[in-house]
Amino acid sequence: MTNHLSIHPGLIALFGSGETAPAGRGVHEYLFRRLRAPIRVAVLETPAGFQPNSAWVAGRLAEFIQERLQNYHPQVTIIPARRKDGPLSTDDPLLTAPLLNANYVFMGPGSPTYAVRHLMGTRAWARIVARQRRGAVLAFASAMAIAASAHALPVYEIYKVGEDPHWQAGLDLLGPYGLELAIVTHWDNQEGGAHLDTRYGFMGQERMRVLEAMLPPSATLLGIDEHTAVVLDWAAGEARVMGRSGVVVRRGGEERRFARGEAFPLAVLGEVRLPALEEGLPAEVVEEVLTAERAEESLSPDVAARVEEREAARRARDWARADAIRDELARQGYIVEDAPQGPRVRRRIVAR
């Protein structure tokens, strides 16, 4: 792989399921340890946006992060972007503004094809892609992991509605990295018991054979077992299997299986390359992401002095004064975030 000066891509974790189970917690901890504090998590409702309880689904994910990973002091924001059109749009620059500062983006259950339909070509998705290329971690589980594929499996349409086996175009998150993936979660599912084969993402062996034959020869099938994740590490050039079980890679007529704890070269998935930051992204999104970074990195001497005064007040347990200084800085457009390593100050980003 060749490094490109304009990007330093963050890890991408793809969960087969179990993102809030004990095995999933270990994966999140691994990812959190790779980030610089403060950890700012954005949870999007989009994959389950069609469900009346999508707020509860996203809230459950956020609650898991806040309670089970509280030692990392994560700052969690739920973004209720439910569909491309309407008042809670994935294309709304203000609603999705927290993505500009998030360094951990988490999405999970829902419908893969719904997620594709309401994220593709939107401001939210462009911001997510740009932030990942600048170091943010993406944690995608179940439906969202499928949606990130080049070839997305229409699980509900086939399994519940009875449509013939087929693939749909996905968000192709990894296409710019040279990987043409068909990601199938719930690979070892056993819900059907002895009377119904629900392995391979609820497709069963017979339908999966038909589906695999439909994939172009250039595609790689990545099957991820339940309560298992594969973490793609661009700097190390490897994929690490974590959780309870393993993953399967089918490429060029060959199958390879990797168990939990194993790491394998990213080249097993395809010929990896690193994209330029701006590749496939609107220029205005690239600029707003870079502007957000610059705003965090630069403070005037006066603002820096006030931040230090607030820290002195906190050390003296003068909470009223510390709060007053924080409020004063907020009026000036600065947000102060407290972390074990010290305060982090960023300018409030006003989306255009």
Instruction: Give per-residue pLDDT as tens, 65-81.
Output: 999 999 999 989 999 99
| Distance separating alpha carbons of residues 285 and 222, to the nearest angstrom | 30
CA distances from 228 to 188, 190, 270 (A): 10, 15, 21
pLDDT recorded at residue 300: 75
pLDDT band at 339 (very low <50, low <70, confident <90, very high): low
Mean pLDDT value across residues 233-252: 97
**pTM exceeds 0.75:** yes
Mean pLDDT value across residues 325-338: 85
What spatial distance separates the first Cα and last Cα of the chain, rounded to whole Å?
35
pLDDT recorded at residue 331: 84
Residues in the chain: 352
103: left (phi over 0), alpha (psi -120 to 50) or beta: alpha
The mean of the pLDDT values for the chain is 93
Identify which of 318, 343, 317, 315 has the alpha carbon closest to the alpha carbon of residue 329. Answer: 343
Say yes or no to pLDDT of 272 above 90. Answer: yes
Could you tell me if 221 and 152 are in contact, meaning their C-beta atoms sit under 8 angstroms apart? no
Residues 6+ apart with CB under 8 A from 301: none
DSSP secondary structure of 49-91: TTSTTHHHHHHHHHHHHHHHTGGG--EEEEE---BSSSSSBTT
pLDDT digits (tens, 9 = 90+) for 38-50: 899 999 999 999 9
CA angle 111, 19, 36 (to 5 degrees): 115
pLDDT recorded at residue 352: 47
Mean pLDDT value across residues 244-261: 96
pLDDT digits (tens, 9 = 90+) for 93-151: 999 999 998 999 999 999 999 999 999 999 999 999 999 999 999 999 999 999 999 99
- Count other Cβ atoms within 10 Å, centred on residue 261: 10
- Count other Cβ atoms within 10 Å, centred on residue 7: 20
Mean pLDDT value across residues 343-347: 74
| Distance separating alpha carbons of residues 8 and 10, to the nearest angstrom | 7
Could you tell me if 163 and 177 are in contact, meaning their C-beta atoms sit under 8 angstroms apart? no
pLDDT recorded at residue 342: 66
- Structural domains in the chain, CATH included, are 12-286 (3.40.50.880), 299-347 (no CATH)
Cα–chain center distance at 315: 36
| Distance separating alpha carbons of residues 75 and 56, to the nearest angstrom | 18
Higher pLDDT, 298 or 328: 328
pLDDT band at 316 (very low <50, low <70, confident <90, very high): confident
pLDDT recorded at residue 3: 39
Would you state the structure tokens that stand for residue 228, as one six-digit string? 């298992």
